[in-house]
Amino acid sequence: MSDQARGTDRMSTGLPPRTHVPLAEGIIMGLNRCSPDEAFGQLRDVSRRHGIGVRVLASALVQAAMSGEEPRTKEERERAELLALYWPLPRPQRDRTQVPLQDRRRLRAVDRQDVVDAHAGD
């Protein structure tokens, strides 16, 4: 019997969607170069070790990988620290300023000219 037929729906239960589990497996597979079964095993083991549901842990991993934002709440910080122990995610560099494409091209042209000028003095 489906959830709709029972009158329950995932959104009303507050549980993360099941689709986060395969996404989290994919993230783990990419980080650890392992099979889908090994990735789920890691997810399950960490879940059991720390008393966090597999779907909740998977959802936190997917959210951390996709957003790249710093955690805001105490709970998010705790989960981020836990995730970092097992699956450290690369952090985006925030200090870089975005340079418009036209300016980048101009900067490259200036750099090339500096190289030419430096060799001309030899």
Tokens 């030419």 label which residue? 116
Residue 90 CA to residue 65 CA, distance in Å, equals 8
Residues 26-46, mean pLDDT to the nearest whole number: 95
pTM: 0.60
Residue that wins the pLDDT comparison between 115 and 102: 102
Beta-strand runs (E) in the chain: none
Asked if 31 and 87 touch (Cβ cutoff 8 Å), the reply is yes
CA distance linking residue 102 with residue 100, whole number of Å: 6
Pick the more confident residue, 9 or 16: 16
Q: Write the pLDDT tens digit of every residue in 65-114.
A: 887 777 788 888 888 889 989 998 876 555 445 556 555 556 555 555 55
Q: Which of 44, 84, 39 has its CA nearest to residue 65?
A: 84
